[in-house]
Structure 1
């Protein structure tokens, strides 16, 4: 077959110029993305079922495999990079290094460090978790079999659980390092604030979105630490019945807010 000459190429370009010009498109908009997702949704569902069948074996006809919360948690855990786990562990190790472990150390002197660092680490982890949470990503998440808001609350629960584990590990560390260390007052001090800040952040996230959650939780954390530093100093702090009741009430309030946020996640429209 002979190669086309310049005249033939020019003629071909002239013939194709008009039909090809109709194929040119402008900038992709969010409406285009939403329309594409609606078109592809049936294909996604079919591919998902095929992958499930290949992984877990063929199931009986007419019994589709239901998504579970455990699978969602596992998938969200894998979304965190190694750098995040290493960085959070590094912060916790640095906290353990600066903790006072001499004889006679009080629960409040150590707890003051934990009530400052753990909520700060929580807020920083939340900011890392939702660093890519924009309008386009929320559109992509709507094609998952889970409510999109549930994805966010699961990420929040993962971060909260990690900080709780760090707090418990720190409590065990202090018990080993310091003889007769008052571990119960110490755990209640950092856990009451951490759970309350977590509950506020989670509920505000489902109520008004990520920015409001960070603002509310951060303001409460700063106010709490400022109040305790001004009113309750290390020298005159006394672990009495009123302190115990306040800390228990904070733990209960934090858990209730977390439960309400989890329940709300099934019917919440995502907000910026």
Structure 2
């Protein structure tokens, strides 16, 4: 028991830089209190003291604002940060080293008995306000973005965002990424806008556009090569340049000059 307690406290230090000492964690972290009360309630539940287990669970909800059904199965080093508003259903299964933030729901989409809540494998992180609903698996090391609503399986190591939840690609094949960067530089765009370090749906869409432009460019080069072999000088003409002053951004309804890098990235800051 004391080993598990020490393990829980250390998991807080690993994942919360605001934690200062063990006494503070023991007395001031409702996520820890909810987990410890759940262990008591779960032990009663599996021994068929159902009402008493629910009473302990309800007491934990009243004390911490975190509702964990005593039937839920939770692994080691589970960490709940802030915690208020978390709901974990009866048939939910949570692996080791999982992290949940406030407002998370691990819920069901059916009133039928049986498995109806999600399974979170080891190392999963679920952001604030996210809803994971249904009897599917979130793979090891996966991340669920804040306020996402996820109703389908998430592969290991993937990131799911949005409503409904969709998988975003965090890293791209190095060869594909190199081609995209070359094309972006060729047309005056900064490759940062399509970097694999930014797993954003808009960046992904821009990346696909660059893939298409790359394919068109290669096809045109092939056609020019064929025309040159036939004696035509059509492809000897230079392509029009892309001067930086041609790139503009709209600010409060007025156009003003912007460099090519800004045009590529887009200004997402409020004016």
Alignment TM-score, normalising by the size of structure 1: 0.24
User: Could you tell me the TM-score, scaled by structure 2's length?
Assistant: 0.24
Q: Which has the higher contact order (CA 8 A, sep 6+)?
A: 1
Richer in helix (by share) = 1
